[in-house]
Amino acid sequence: MFDSDRTIAHPATDAGSGVVAELIGLVDRLGELPGAADDGERVDRIAALERLRGAVAAAQARETTAFAVSQVAAQRAAGVSAARRGRGIAEQIGFARGMSPAAAARQVTMAKEWSTDLPAVLSQLRAGRISEWAAQVVAQETREMPRYVRRSIAADLAPDLPDMTVWEARAAARRLSYAADPVAVLGRARTARMDRRVGIRPAPDTMTVLSAVLPAEQGVAAWANLDRHARSLRATGDPRSIGQLMADTLVERVTGQATASAIPVEIGLTMSADSLLGHEQTPAELHGYGPMPADLALDLIGQSATPSPTSEPPPTAATSQAAIDGAATNDAAVAVWVRRIFTDPVDDTVLHVDTRRRRFDGALARLIRYRDRVCRDPFCTAAVRHLDHVRPYRDGGPTSAANGAGLCERGNYAKDLPGWSRRVIGRPDSGDRHQRQMIEVTTPTGHRYTSQPPPALGPGSNRRDQERRRAIRRQDFRRRERLIASLPSPDP
C-alpha cells in the first residue's frame, strides 16, 4: 500500500504475483543491508547499486511498453475511437510511479523508443553498464531521425557509452545525428521552434524561476536587450544591481506595469487569522507557489489587509485571502482586498470562500479552485483547467462543492474512458462527519487511488490532523503491546 497525505493506492488483487513479491522482497533486502567491512567495500557497493539502477530502469521500461500496447488493444476492443486510444495510459503509469501524468507520458515515450528504435542502448542499460540518464539523452538527440537511422546510430554509439559521461554521450549522439541526416536535423530544429513555451517553478526562499524555451536568436536578443537596458539605468545612478535591474525590467515589460512591485493580477494568499493579526508566525500559503513566512506575506499585502466585520464565523475559524488586483501605475495605487476563506477546524480543507469583494463571480468555481489548487488526479501538479463533476451530471451528480473537482485538461479527458470511475468517499479515519471531498479513482486494471484536497495552508500545516494521526498510531501501538503482554510465555 502506498500512503501519503495526497493518495492511497490499493492493489488490484490482494496477493501479487510471485515476481511482484520477489521485487518487494528485494526492496526490503536493500533496506536491511549489513554494514560494509571497509571503504573499499562501500565503493564496490555504490558501483553495484548504480548498475542495479540502470537494470531497474530497463526492466521498468519493458513493463511500461508492454502495458501501453495492452491498454491500446483493450481500448480498441472496447470500441474507443482511434483519436482517443492511448488516453489514460500515462495517468495509470503516473499513479503507479508516484509522478505527474505529464512526466509519466514522457517515460512512456522514452520506453517505447528504447524498445523499438534503440535496442542497442537498451541492452547496455539492461546490463547496468550505463545510466538511465545517458540512455535518455541518446533518445532525445536522435528523436527526429528515421527509425533505421536511429538504430544505426545506437549500434555505433552503444559500445562506447559505458566509458562516456552523460555530457559526452549527448554530444556524440548529436554529432552522429548531424552527420547521418542533416535534413532531419533541420526538421527537428523547426519542430523545436513550434514547442516554444514559458514555465514557472518554485525556488528556495520565496523565489520562483520563470523560464522560457525560445528560438536561439530570440533568447539571445531578449537577454541582450535586458542587459543593455539594465546597464544604461545603472549608468544613470540606479542603485540596483545589474541582475536586479534585468529582473525588474522583465516583470515590467511582461506585465505592462510601471514598476515590478505593482502587482497587476490577482494573487491568492492564504493566512491564518492569528498570523494576519500578528499573534503567531504560522506560514502563509501563496497559491501557485507554496508556503511563505507570515511577515513576508504581511509585507506583500501592505499590512493594510484586516478582516472586515461581517456576520460570518469568528476569525479563529477562518483564514484570510489577500487579493491584489488592478492595473496600477505605481506601488501606492495597488488596491488590496481581504477575502476570508473558511476552513474545516479538523482537517483544514477549504469549505467556503467569502464573496464580499467587488468584481466577484462564480463563487462555487472559485471555492473549488482555491480548495484544490492543482489537478485532483493523484500525483498530478498541473494547473486546474477544467471544473467537473465527480459523479457525472448525466448520472444525477449534483453541481456542488462536494461533487466538484478541479482537473487538468488531460485528466478530465481520461476519466471518461472505459474502465475508469470516480466517487466521493469519507475519510477512513475520521468517521462520516468529515467527508471532505476525498475522491477514489478506479483505473481499468482495478487499482484504486484516493486524493483529497491539500490543507489550506499547504502540506504539513495541519497540526490537528497530524496530532490525530499520531494519537491513532499510539493507540494501535499500545493495543499491540497489551496483546503481546497477555499472551502466555513460551515453554523453556
* Nearest Cα to Cα of residue 271 among 303, 297, 290: 297
Looking at residue 265, its pLDDT comes to 45
472 contact partners, CB below 8 Å, separation of at least 6:
429
Residue 220, in any domain of the structure:
yes
Looking at the predicted structure, is the pLDDT value of residue 193 above 90? no
161-188 pLDDT per residue, tens: 998 889 889 988 988 888 887 776 777 6
Residue 344, in any domain of the structure:
no
Q: Between 338 and 230, where is the model more confident?
A: 230
Q: Which of 65-69, 228-232, 272-276, 297-301 has the lowest mean pLDDT?
A: 272-276
309 contact partners, CB below 8 Å, separation of at least 6:
none
Which of 179, 194, 209 terminates a domain? The answer is 194
Mean pLDDT of the 422-430 span: 67
C-alpha cell at 139: 533518445
Q: How many helices (H) and strands (E) does the chain have?
A: 16, 15
Mean pLDDT of the 381-385 span: 83
185 and 227 co-located in one domain: no
Q: How many Cβ atoms are within 10 Å of 20's Cβ, its own excluded?
A: 12
96 and 185 co-located in one domain: yes
478-491 pLDDT per residue, tens: 777 777 777 776 55
Which of 194, 211, 246 terminates a domain? The answer is 194
Residue 82, in any domain of the structure:
yes
- Sorting pLDDT into bands at 50, 70 and 90, what band is 107? very high
Looking at residue 394, its pLDDT comes to 80
Looking at the predicted structure, is the pLDDT value of residue 8 above 50? no
Q: Which domain holds residue 76?
A: 35-194
129-159 pLDDT per residue, tens: 999 999 999 999 888 788 898 999 999 999 9
Looking at residue 16, its pLDDT comes to 53
Looking at residue 491, its pLDDT comes to 55
Looking at the predicted structure, is the pLDDT value of residue 41 above 70? yes
Residue 404, in any domain of the structure:
no
Residue 106, in any domain of the structure:
yes
242-295 pLDDT per residue, tens: 999 999 999 888 877 777 666 544 555 666 555 555 556 666 666 666 666 766
- Sorting pLDDT into bands at 50, 70 and 90, what band is 329? very low
Residue 475, in any domain of the structure:
no
103 and 227 co-located in one domain: no
Q: Is 448 helix (H, G, I), strand (E, B) or coil?
A: strand
C-alpha cell at 428: 477512513
The secondary structure of residue 249, as a DSSP letter, is H
179 and 41 co-located in one domain: yes
Looking at residue 246, its pLDDT comes to 93
- β-partners of residue 389 are 404
Q: Between 262 and 211, where is the model more confident?
A: 211
Q: Which range among 92-101, 200-209, 258-267, 340-349 has the greatest average pLDDT?
A: 92-101
- β-partners of residue 442 are 421, 448
Q: How far apart are CA 468 and CA 347, in angstroms?
A: 10
206 and 170 co-located in one domain: no
Mean pLDDT of the 383-391 span: 85
Residue 149, in any domain of the structure:
yes
Looking at the predicted structure, is the pLDDT value of residue 319 above 60? no
Looking at residue 432, its pLDDT comes to 40
62 and 112 co-located in one domain: yes
| Contact in structure between 442 and 420 (CB atoms under 8 Å) | yes
Which of 174, 194, 214 terminates a domain? The answer is 194
Q: How many Cβ atoms are within 10 Å of 191's Cβ, its own excluded?
A: 11
Looking at residue 129, its pLDDT comes to 93
Residue recorded with cell 463533476 = 389
Q: Which range among 216-220, 273-277, 365-369 has the greatest average pLDDT?
A: 216-220
Q: Which whole-number Å values give the CA distances from 111 to 53, 63, 105, 139, 150, in the listed order?
A: 15, 9, 10, 10, 15
Q: Between 227 and 454, where is the model more confident?
A: 227
Looking at the predicted structure, is the pLDDT value of residue 110 above 90? yes
Helix, strand, coil share (%) of the chain residues, nearest 5: 50, 15, 35
User: How big is the CA angle at 210 (ends 206 and 216), to the nearest 5 degrees?
Assistant: 155
Mean pLDDT of the 86-103 span: 91
Looking at the predicted structure, is the pLDDT value of residue 195 above 90? no
92 and 133 co-located in one domain: yes
132 and 62 co-located in one domain: yes
Q: How many Cβ atoms are within 10 Å of 238's Cβ, its own excluded?
A: 14
Q: How far apart are CA 178 and CA 160, in angstroms?
A: 18
| Contact in structure between 390 and 372 (CB atoms under 8 Å) | no
146 and 246 co-located in one domain: no
Q: Is 284 helix (H, G, I), strand (E, B) or coil?
A: strand
Looking at residue 461, its pLDDT comes to 58
Positions of E strands within 173-216: 197-203, 207-213
Looking at the predicted structure, is the pLDDT value of residue 7 above 70? no
Residue recorded with cell 495509470 = 92
Q: Which range among 6-10, 308-312, 431-435, 457-461 has the greatest average pLDDT?
A: 457-461
C-alpha cell at 45: 557497493
188 and 67 co-located in one domain: yes
Mean pLDDT of the 343-362 span: 49
Mean pLDDT of the 304-320 span: 37
Q: The dihedral of CA 364, 369, 372, 376: what is its sign?
A: positive
118 and 211 co-located in one domain: no
Q: How many domains in the chain?
A: 2
- Sorting pLDDT into bands at 50, 70 and 90, what band is 426? low
Looking at the predicted structure, is the pLDDT value of residue 326 above 60? no
Q: How many Cβ atoms are within 10 Å of 19's Cβ, its own excluded?
A: 8
128 and 236 co-located in one domain: no
Residue 77, in any domain of the structure:
yes
Q: What is the mean pLDDT of the chain?
A: 76
Looking at the predicted structure, is the pLDDT value of residue 348 above 80? no
- Sorting pLDDT into bands at 50, 70 and 90, what band is 5? very low
Q: Between 226 and 15, where is the model more confident?
A: 226
